[in-house]
Amino acid sequence: MTDTMLTDAAERMFADLCDKAMLDAAEDGAFPSALWNTVAESGFHQLAMPDSGVSLGDAFAVVGIAGRHALPLPLAETLLANRWLAGSDGLATIGQVQDGWIVDAPWGRAADRILGLDAERGACVVVELGEGVQVREGANLAGEPRDAVALPDGAEWLPLLEPAYAYLALARAVASAGCLARVLELTLQYAGEREQFGRAISRFQAIQHSLAVMAGEVAAAGRAADAAVDALDGDRLELEVAVAKARVGEAAGVVAEIAHQVHGAMGFTHEHQLHHFTRRAWAWRDEFGNETHWQRRLGRHLAAGGADGLWAFIATRG
């Protein structure tokens, strides 16, 4: 059971704070400190710590709500880094170790510390950010900061105790599912308000059918993400993440396409808020393994198990 007091509180706070002006400013590269302070004061950044009293699944539910509102903070990364680094507090982010750098770290420029993952080695490094640490700023196609931080010499490697890459992929899947649900809401609302030929465009069958397709993809994305969250305690988390990341990624493409078609030119403007969500849905498909990456992972597992094990894999209780 999801802790609805927690999720309701997150919903209220993020809905209240994430407005268009804030998203624009964050996408221009300015860290939203006031927003961060409010979120941190409420303890949202510590939800996934082992002693938080909140289940990991509920922490992921909050990540989904953040996705719904395009919360311009590295919430999933902070949650997980504070979980994995004993005694860590404040704004922590996570990137991947590559050629002497920790790359693709959300808001590396503003973080207190950064965890660099080397999933293949099953290890990570921690770098305290501050004076003298070199940071190269970058962004994904949604304008979300994805920074690189130079790995200092002699950094200490720690073992990864949990499947970090899968957790982060799950975080993106969950956030995308929330984001896609929002895109559907925005599109339903727009279709009901926009009039052409003397009536709301939602009255046209072609539009209705597009919206029905969209609703199907949004529902599939939500169900797939939920199932992977439910698998957190089980022994096939990675495979359920594969299902979710692959399925949500496919949904993202379809949903974004239809949303823009229904919004017409208005949805193509910078002024309209739709793109904050559709660009995130596009960007998140590619982070922590795109559809092909996870399809292959799943496909290899199933092929190795053989044709006669296929149905047993699918026919789970939950």
Q: Where do contacts with another protein occur on this chain (CB under 8 A)? A: 185, 188, 191-192, 202-203, 205, 207-209, 211-213, 215-217, 219-220, 222-224, 226-227, 230, 242-244, 246-247, 250, 291-292, 294-300, 302-304, 306-308, 310-311, 313-318
What lies within 8 Å, CB to CB, of 1 at 6+ separation is: none
The set of residues, in sequence order, having a beta carbon less than 8 Å from that of 226 and lying 6+ positions away, is 177
When the beta carbons of 109 and 203 are compared against another protein, the nearer one is 203
- Single-letter code of the amino acid located at 223: R
For another protein, give the closer residue by CB, 39 or 243: 243
CB 8 to another protein: min, Å:
16
Specify whether the CB–CB gap between 180 and 217 falls below 8 A: yes
Residue 243 contacts residue 227 (beta carbons within 8 Å): yes
Nearest CB to another protein, comparing residues 146 and 247: 247
Task: Report the residue number, 150 or 188, with the smaller CB distance to another protein.
Answer: 188
Kindly tell me which of 43 and 192 has the beta carbon lying closer to another protein. 192
The answer for residues whose C-beta is within 8 angstroms of residue 173's C-beta and 6 or more apart is 224, 225, 228, 241, 244, 245, 248, 249
Closer residue to another protein, CB minimum distance, 152 or 253? 253
Which sign does the torsion angle of CA 81, 87, 90, 96 carry?
A: negative
- H-run or E-run covering 289: none
Nearer to another protein, 47 or 239 (CB): 239
To another protein, the closest distance from the beta carbon of 173 in angstroms equals 11
Of 270 and 317, the one with the shorter C-beta distance to another protein is 317
109, 137 contact by CB (below 8 A): yes
Shortest Å, Cβ 242 to another protein: 7
- In the complex, the smallest distance separating the C-beta of residue 274 from another protein, rounded to whole angstroms, is 18
Min dist. Cβ of residue 110 to another protein (A): 35
Q: What is the DSSP letter of 294?
A: H
User: Is residue 36 within 8 Å of 14, Cβ to Cβ?
Assistant: no
Q: Are 158 and 126 in contact (CB under 8 A)?
A: yes
- CB of residue 243 vs another protein: minimum separation in angstroms? 5
Whether 185 and 214 have beta carbons less than 8 Å apart is answered as: no
Shortest Å, Cβ 269 to another protein = 24
3-state secondary structure of 97: strand
Going by C-alpha positions, the residue among 146, 266, 135 that lies closest to residue 201 is 266
CB of 232 to another protein, least distance (A): 13
Q: Using CA atoms, how far apart are residues 165 and 172, in angstroms rounded to an integer?
A: 11
Tokens of 196: 């052409």
